[in-house]
Structure 1
Amino acid sequence: MKIKDICEAVTDGSHNPPQGISSSGYMMLSSKNIFDDEITFEEPRYLSEDDFLRENKRTKISEGDVLLTIVGTVGRTAVVDGDMPSFTLQRSVAVLHPKRNICISRFLMYALRGKHRFIENRAKGVAQKGIYLGEVSEIDISIPDINEQKVIVEKLDKICDIIKLRKQELTNLDELMKARFVEMFGTYPANEKRWNVGTIRDVVTEVRYGSSRKAAEGMQGQYLYLRMNNITYSGELVLNDIKTIDVPEKELLKCSVQRGDVLFNRTNSKELVGKTCVYNRDEMMVLAGFIIRVRVNEKILPEILSTFLNTDFSKKMLYGMCKSAIGQANINAQEFQNIEIYIPDMKSQEQFVEFKKQIDKSKVAVQKALDETQLLFDSLMQEYFG
């Protein structure tokens, strides 16, 4: 059946972004607040009563409605919960009102997730891609009877609950590590433990930018290519979206990485500048130019520098340092080396690194369980929705 036959109506948010910034009025969400099976209320916009009443005639949001992002990051979908606060929407989100005797809301949400790639491929635009409501209405979905829908939704919901639990376990382990770091070493600039103080310049032997060369087409390059998306906000090295690159041999030593290098993301959106990790592998890889490669001296261990830069107090400091230009923010190598840092005694550093190793082992086990559960979910999605 087509979406237009499954739903009583398919509309989009009835509002344009308001002029100026207000912290009161009618709360308005956009596609940035919609994720798969999640609606967040972080940094909403607000409409005045006049704007709300003038533009809100067409779109009514009710419990059980399915929201689909149609501008920006297209194809994310979630269901409106009755416990959520009242809100309205920008035009970047479609509102689907399923006919309850034909389709369960959560079944429609999962079915649309199964069509994510199909929807994404039909999005058009240059600066910001989008898909028209008419195209959304024509999407075909196989609809079993209500009882079978309930069985499918129950299975998928249980697996999603386990996935959320595993992700929360990883978050808890990250928070535990940060808490232990602050417990052992304190915050900065408060420096409650009265450690020796210096700058990053005092604890490094080398600071270099990565290569400015473009990635190779496909996977045809000679070397794996580390980019800013390969460093997570919490300080992990991830290689699930990797590219390759060709680099002349004479340049290789300048831009390749080795075990123990600290990698600092110097250019990104402002809130992501400063993502830092330790390169903990033995493979030969080349670093992209948006990342600074740091090699430390005998005064500090790589894990201490990386964890220091990933703490909440450092992230706040890095956010304030960033210089923005055309949608990107930057901290250059000289500014990076001028960052002040406390320098604990080596015995304390080693104790923390040992603690971190145990946390990392736990994270590996949880991540393995998460990957297996995600694989099961993906397999069932393929079975049910093709």
Structure 2
Amino acid sequence: MRVKLEDVCERGSSNIKQSDIIKMSGNYSIYGASGLAGKVNFYHQEQPYVAVVKDGAGIGRTTLNPAKSSVIGTMQYLIPKKNVLPEYLFYAVSYMHLEKYYTGATIPHIYFKDYKNEEFNLDNIEKQLEIIDVLGRCKKVIEARKQELVELDSLTKARFVEMFGDPVSNPYGYDKVALSDLADIKIGPFGSLLHKEDYIDGGHPLLNPSHIVDGKVSPDDKLTISDEKYEELSAYQLKTGDVVMGRRGEMGRCAVVPEDGFLCGTGSMLIRTKGEVTADYIQKIISFPSFKKTIEDMAVGQTMPNLNVPIVSGFQIIKPPMEVQDRYYAFAEQVNKSKFDTMTFAPIYAIINLYLHTYFYQGRR
């Protein structure tokens, strides 16, 4: 049976602010856009429900939350009716990509009135359980493989410390040189070179500090520029193998650029190795916990820590002999081969997408 979203769920809202729960404690979970926001002594929903981020970062993201829990005001409740299981509703809504309904330039919003007419197929409860079971098993396989990747990353990090030591205390007594001896360094374009009207969907992504997450780039498809603007700002184009580093806010936030086509944002810096060390090596040194603390001490600015080219140029970087570097990267290459074998998610995602498309969105009657 073909149904509209409003046929299977009730809309609910929350007026709880993050600041309201800071000093609260209790046994009941309350969720925000990034997941669990805290524990409180109350709950708003007696049964499991679907929650959608309706304001700000992560807009449209969908989660399945447990019974006896709540959400803060940036989230929207979708409370299942008796004809749909919460898990089935979650999978259906997740596939709708509700972010496409956003409005607002400064703080994006989505509203239930705009997406309540989204249509999908609603099967009987027995069929819903079957579909939930298949998708749940696929999800468990993906989670297990992701955990393997985490463990392989930990192995590489442990080997890095074993061979190079703490880059600040330098227990092996390696030579130290200024970062400017190892790399060219450039600050991102001034804000006056980029204006609101320059931003388009689906162009060349900007990489600001917020687009560097856990040592990897995480671009925003809505914060991009045209080919023409990209060429106009050619001096700030990031190349494969560059390091992009946030110059304000959280110190030491940096990532290796995986491919051409990105632009260094106004809040970032471009670091391009001269070849004596790899970009990966520079990224790992700068993001090392003790090195991040050193950077914090070097940063300027009262309200928000800030870095400039002279400060970054003066970073003291340990420079191990090439044979030591080569041994490390030979080890890292073997680990990466194992990671590649583990990252064969494509067949699993294909099954998930097939189920989502077939059971939720093909025009079956």
TM range (shorter): 0.7 to 0.9
RMSD value over aligned CA atoms? 4.1
1:289-308 → structure 2 map (5 Å cutoff): 289-290=265-266, 291-296=268-273, 300-308=277-285
Is contact 2:208–2:265 with CA below 8 Å preserved after alignment?
no
1:1-386 → structure 2 map (5 Å cutoff): 1-7=3-9, 9-18=10-19, 21-22=22-23, 24=25, 29-33=30-34, 40-41=35-36, 44=37, 60-72=44-56, 73-81=58-66, 87-100=69-82, 102-116=83-97, 119-135=98-114, 139-201=118-180, 203-209=181-187, 227-228=207-208, 233-236=213-216, 245-246=227-228, 254-255=235-236, 261-267=241-247, 270-271=249-250, 274-277=253-256, 287-290=263-266, 291-296=268-273, 300-315=277-292, 317-318=294-295, 330-367=306-343, 369-386=344-361
Query: How far apart are 1:178 and its partner, in Å?
Result: 1.2
CA gap of 1:298–1:138, structure 2 versus 1, over 3 A, is closer
CA distance in 2, matches of 1:5, 1:308: 54
CA distance in 1, matches of 2:11, 2:210: 38
Instruction: Give secondary structure in 1 for the equivalent of 2:33.
Output: helix
- Extract unaligned runs of 5+ from structure 1: 34-39, 53-58
CA distance in 2, matches of 1:99, 1:205: 59
Amino acid in structure 2 at the alignment position of 1:66: V
Is contact 1:13–1:89 with CA below 8 Å preserved after alignment?
yes
CA distance in 1, matches of 2:321, 2:208: 31
Amino acid in structure 2 at the alignment position of 1:18: S
Instruction: Give secondary structure in 1 for the equivalent of 2:244.
Output: strand
Residue 36 of structure 1 is matched in structure 2 by none
Amino acid in structure 1 at the alignment position of 2:269: I
Instruction: Give secondary structure in 1 for the equivalent of 2:161.
Output: helix
The total of aligned residue pairs comes to 350
CA gap of 1:356–1:207, structure 2 versus 1, over 3 A, is same
Amino acid in structure 1 at the alignment position of 2:136: D
CA gap of 1:316–1:265, structure 2 versus 1, over 3 A, is same
Instruction: Give secondary structure in 1 for the equivalent of 2:155.
Output: helix
Amino acid in structure 1 at the alignment position of 2:184: E
CA distance in 1, matches of 2:11, 2:232: 59
Instruction: Give secondary structure in 2 for the equivalent of 1:382.
Output: helix
CA gap of 1:62–1:334, structure 2 versus 1, over 3 A, is farther
TM-score by length of 1: 0.72
Is contact 2:176–2:318 with CA below 8 Å preserved after alignment?
yes
CA distance in 2, matches of 1:17, 1:237: 27
Instruction: Give secondary structure in 2 for the equivalent of 1:78.
Output: strand
Instruction: Give secondary structure in 2 for the equivalent of 1:126.
Output: coil
Is contact 2:245–2:270 with CA below 8 Å preserved after alignment?
no
Query: How far apart are 1:217 and its partner, in Å?
Result: 6.3
Instruction: Give secondary structure in 1 for the equivalent of 2:133.
Output: helix
- Extract unaligned runs of 5+ from structure 2: none
TM-score by length of 2: 0.76
Moved more, 164-173 or 233-242: 233-242
Identity %: 21
Amino acid in structure 2 at the alignment position of 1:78: T
Query: How far apart are 1:228 and its partner, in Å?
Result: 4.9
Amino acid in structure 1 at the alignment position of 2:52: L
